[in-house]
Amino acid sequence: MEHSYFQDRLSAYHDNELPLQEKVVVEEHVRGCAECEKLLEEYAKLDQLVAEHGQLADSDYWEKAAQKIDRAIAAGGQTEIDHTLTHRRRSGLSWKLLAAAASVVIVGYIGINKDKFLTPDKQVPMIAAPSVPTSRDSEDYRKSQAESDQRQTQPNVKAKQDAGGATGKTENLPEEASGEIEKSNAAPRKELASKPAQKESTAPITKDLKGEVKDELAVPQSIDLGNSFQKSQPAPAPAMSALTSDSAESLKLRRASNEAAILDAQSPPPDTGLGLAHWTALRDSLLPLADAEHKAKNVLELGKTVISGYDKAARKPSRLAATTEPSPDSRLAEACYWIAKLSKQPEEKSQAIATLRQIGERANDSLKATVQNWIKELAAP
Amino acid sequence: MAETPGDKRREFLAPPTELVGGGEEMPKSGVSGEVAKPAERKLVEAAQNGDKKAFGELIRLHQKRLFRYIYGLVGSFDQAEDIVQDAFVRAYGAIKTFRAEYSFYPWISTIARNLAFNHVNREGRKESLDKIVEKGFDPVSTDLGPLDKLLSKEADSRFYRALMSLPVTYRSVFVLRHFEDMDYVQIASYLKIPPGTVDSRLFRARQMLMKELKDLL
């Protein structure tokens, strides 16, 4: 064997850490090798040096340090090290995962139950954007729009402004309309709620539109159209009255009963006597909300999968299902049903049925069954 | 496979295997199996009955050795001071769980060692370690700070300067072997490295120290 091999092994030999067989071989080599013998002596001297110079001197430092520890014990306190150690353990992966999962659950839950969490004053008017009448509006709507007075056109301008505001396209609005917008922005919500149907003043109608948009994320358009349709249709159906209610609580209750009626009947939704334009506008306003809720549910499901075992809320999906609010999907389904029923344009009809099918695919069992029944009925000659 | 500085750091910073809870929980009594001397046993039993003075005696018996050990691991006077203090505070809090028939020092040193390794881990010594590995052995630049006051001779200071200049992976093995009398298997188990690596690191640590302290040998 090479001399360097024995040099490398001498440290372990000195510590008596070599296996017996190797120890014997190294011993034999050391007996005949002056260099290795000297190295072994140096190891022994180093041990001695550590023993001699590795000790710390006696000093009053030790008594002071001991007294400091005594005081810390007497105070029952913990040192800085203690806190940081605790912090280190708590900043492990499990805590980060828990925090992320909790965020997902909270965001998802709020997304689904936004009506509960957002007070009317806090709700953003972004949902007003879809309320702009589109080229898909029917003849009925155009007629009713033409019949309505100037006050009734101003809310639409307001709605356009809301829609344009989101994309920064407000510069083309007439000055008069802009003035109305400013007025409506300044009006308090309660005052508006108490005057939902004033005809003589333009401001209350605009305010009412704004107020209802804030109250009802899902149905801003219906308020606007509802005012115009109420004039031409003297006997509004229960669903319509719910939409035009000035009480958020009664509105929720009526919506809940409305959905219950829809789901329980397993038959066509009650004919509210509303025109195609109403349902089209309602559908347009509900589409983004229904999509958002669907996505939020997906995120929630993902969150529940990731954090199962961590978050109690994730183990209680019934909390989400327990809401008595009619879901955007159920209202969207109702709107699509009536569009398909009332529309005379095949393209619009088929589009409504396609949306119904989408809802049926992603809906829960009861709504799915209802929607399928409606589709069957619509498909029947 | 070639060993990189990063590997060395991970090994050094790996949580000790023989210790429970990485510093959060107390280690078991009698890790070393060493039996307590009667006088020490009496102090422990008195401390278990709430006698803080008796625990103070235990502190004074072991603090110097414990400090030297922890200083050898962390290489900082202030941090070693904090860790030793925290170890005794924790030990007092858990003294009733300690079995008095066993020697006290292995228990308190295990607590302090846990704290020291967690401390090193938390401080994230990657940069300093890489610098040391890259820079190599440079005992002259090492400043011992307040420790110098606890060293009575110039030779003592030279020894500690040389020790503190070792790369932390070499120093930890050397300290565990020479200050705590651990064998290779114990060191390997504690640092989660193979016994052969303990052997080679100790060999290199000795070579470096002997080269630097040649005139003292």
Model pLDDT for residues A158-196, shown as the tens digit of each residue: 444 444 444 434 334 344 444 444 444 444 444 444 444
Query: Helix, strand, coil shares of chain A as percentages rounded to 5?
Result: 75, 0, 25
Q: Are A317 and A304 in contact (CB under 8 A)?
A: yes
Q: Are A216 and A194 in contact (CB under 8 A)?
A: no
Q: What is the CA radius of gyration of chain B?
A: 18
Residue A345 has pLDDT above 90, yes or no: no
Distances (CA, A) of B181 to A12, A16, A229, B32: 14, 13, 94, 11
Q: Flag whether residue A8 sits within 8 Å of chain B, measured between CB atoms.
A: yes
Q: Flag whether residue B45 sits within 8 Å of chain A, measured between CB atoms.
A: no
**Considering only alpha carbons, which residue of chain B is nearest residue A57?**
B150
Q: Flag whether residue B94 sits within 8 Å of chain A, measured between CB atoms.
A: no
Chain Cα centroid distance, residue A179: 36
Q: In degrees, to the nearest 5, what angle opens at C-alpha A126 toward C-alphas A112 and A360? A: 40
Q: Are B109 and B156 in contact (CB under 8 A)?
A: no
Q: Are A256 and A326 in contact (CB under 8 A)?
A: yes
**In a 10 Å sphere around its CB, with 0-12 CB exposed, 13-18 middle and 19+ buried, how is residue A178 labelled?**
middle
pLDDT band at B198 (very low <50, low <70, confident <90, very high): very high
Q: Flag whether residue B90 sits within 8 Å of chain A, measured between CB atoms.
A: yes
Q: Flag whether residue B31 sits within 8 Å of chain A, measured between CB atoms.
A: no
A65–B67: do the CB atoms touch at under 8 Å?
yes
Q: What pLDDT score was predicted for residue A5?
A: 86
Q: What pLDDT score was predicted for residue A269?
A: 65
Question: Which residues, numbered 175 to 214 in chain B, qualify as contacts with chain A under a Cβ-Cβ cut-off of 8 Å?
Answer: 177-179, 183-184, 195, 199-200, 202-203, 206, 209-210, 213
B156–A57: do the CB atoms touch at under 8 Å?
yes
pLDDT band at B144 (very low <50, low <70, confident <90, very high): confident
Best residue of B88, B161, B170, B183 to probe chain A, by most A CBs closer than 10 Å: B88
A223-250: per-residue pLDDT in tens?
A: 333 333 343 444 444 444 334 444 555 5
Phi-psi region of A16 (alpha: psi -120 to 50; beta: other; left: phi over 0): left
Q: Flag whether residue B20 sits within 8 Å of chain A, measured between CB atoms.
A: no
Q: What pLDDT score was predicted for residue B45?
A: 92
Residue A271 has pLDDT above 70, yes or no: no
| More confident call, A341 vs B10 | A341
**Considering only alpha carbons, which residue of chain B is nearest residue A48?**
B217
d(CA A29, CA A2): 10
A68–B85: do the CB atoms touch at under 8 Å?
yes
Q: Are B178 and B72 in contact (CB under 8 A)?
A: no
Residues of A in contact with B22 (CB under 8 A): 89
Give B35's strand partners: B102
Q: What pLDDT score was predicted for residue A301?
A: 63
Q: Are A152 and A205 in contact (CB under 8 A)?
A: yes
B63–A49: do the CB atoms touch at under 8 Å?
no
The SS3 call for residue B209 is helix
Closest CB to B23: pick one of A42, A43, A85: A85
**Considering only alpha carbons, which residue of chain A is nearest residue B209?**
A46
The C-alpha of B126 sits at a distance from chain A's nearest C-alpha, in angstroms, of: 17
Q: Are A18 and A51 in contact (CB under 8 A)?
A: no
A69–B206: do the CB atoms touch at under 8 Å?
no
Closest CB to A66: pick one of B60, B213, B217: B60
Q: Flag whether residue B145 sits within 8 Å of chain A, measured between CB atoms.
A: no
Best residue of A5, A46, A59, A80 to probe chain B, by most B CBs closer than 10 Å: A46
Q: Is the dihedral of CA A89, A91, A92, A97 positive or negative?
A: positive
Q: Are B88 and A73 in contact (CB under 8 A)?
A: yes
pLDDT band at A128 (very low <50, low <70, confident <90, very high): very low
Amino acid sitting at position B48: Q
Percent of chain B past pLDDT 90, that is, above it, reads 27
d(CA A230, CA A196): 12
Residue A137 has pLDDT above 70, yes or no: no
A69–B63: do the CB atoms touch at under 8 Å?
yes
**In a 10 Å sphere around its CB, with 0-12 CB exposed, 13-18 middle and 19+ buried, how is residue B41 labelled?**
middle
Residue A82 has pLDDT above 80, yes or no: no
Closest CB to A84: pick one of B89, B122, B160: B122
**Considering only alpha carbons, which residue of chain B is nearest residue A72?**
B89
Among candidate residues B92, B162, B32, B83, the one with its CA nearest the CA of residue A74: B92
Residue A200 has pLDDT above 60, yes or no: no
Give B149's strand partners: none
Tokens at A72, concatenated: 């810390």
The SS3 call for residue B102 is strand
Residue A13 has pLDDT above 90, yes or no: yes
Q: What pLDDT score was predicted for residue A374?
A: 84
**Considering only alpha carbons, which residue of chain B is nearest residue A90?**
B24
| More confident call, A372 vs B188 | B188
Residues of A in contact with B77 (CB under 8 A): none
| DSSP class per residue in A117-128 | HS-TTTS-GGGG
pTM over 0.80: no
| More confident call, A268 vs B96 | B96
d(CA B9, CA B124): 9
Task: Give the contacts of B217 (CB within 8 A, at least 6 positions apart).
Answer: A42, A45, A46, A49, B210
Among candidate residues A244, A203, A242, the one with its CA nearest the CA of residue A223: A244
Q: Are A359 and A332 in contact (CB under 8 A)?
A: yes
Distances (CA, A) of A47 to A15, A44, A332, B217: 10, 5, 86, 10
d(CA A343, CA B63): 91
Q: Are A155 and A209 in contact (CB under 8 A)?
A: yes
B54-113: per-residue pLDDT in tens?
A: 999 999 999 999 999 988 888 888 888 889 999 999 999 888 888 888 889 989 998 998
Q: What pLDDT score was predicted for residue A341?
A: 83
Among candidate residues B172, B148, B167, the one with its CA nearest the CA of residue B159: B148
A61–B23: do the CB atoms touch at under 8 Å?
no
Q: What is the CA radius of gyration of chain A?
A: 38
A17–B199: do the CB atoms touch at under 8 Å?
yes
Q: What pLDDT score was predicted for residue B142?
A: 62
Q: Flag whether residue B30 sits within 8 Å of chain A, measured between CB atoms.
A: no
A82–B90: do the CB atoms touch at under 8 Å?
yes
CB pairs under 8 A between A and B: 128
d(CA B175, CA B55): 27
Q: Flag whether residue A95 sits within 8 Å of chain B, measured between CB atoms.
A: no
Q: What pLDDT score was predicted for residue A65?
A: 87
Q: Where are the beta strands (DSSP E) in B94-133?
A: none
The C-alpha of B148 sits at a distance from chain A's nearest C-alpha, in angstroms, of: 9
A50–B210: do the CB atoms touch at under 8 Å?
no
Tokens at A327, concatenated: 């879901």
